[in-house]
Amino acid sequence: MPARMKKADLPTRTCLACGRPFAWRKKWERDWAMVKYCSERCRRSRRAAR
pLDDT of residue 5: 76
4-38 confidence digits (pLDDT tens): 778 888 899 999 999 999 999 999 999 999 999 99
Q: What is the DSSP string of the chain?
A: -PPPPPGGGS-EEE-TTT--EEE--GGGSTTGGG---SSHHHHHHHHHH-
- Is this prediction's pTM over 0.85? no
- State yes or no: pLDDT of 3 exceeds 80: no
- State yes or no: pLDDT of 2 exceeds 90: no
Residue 1 banded pLDDT, cuts 50, 70, 90: low
Residue 19: count of CB within 10 angstroms of its CB: 9
User: Nearest CA to 39 among 10, 8, 19?
Assistant: 19
pLDDT of residue 42: 95
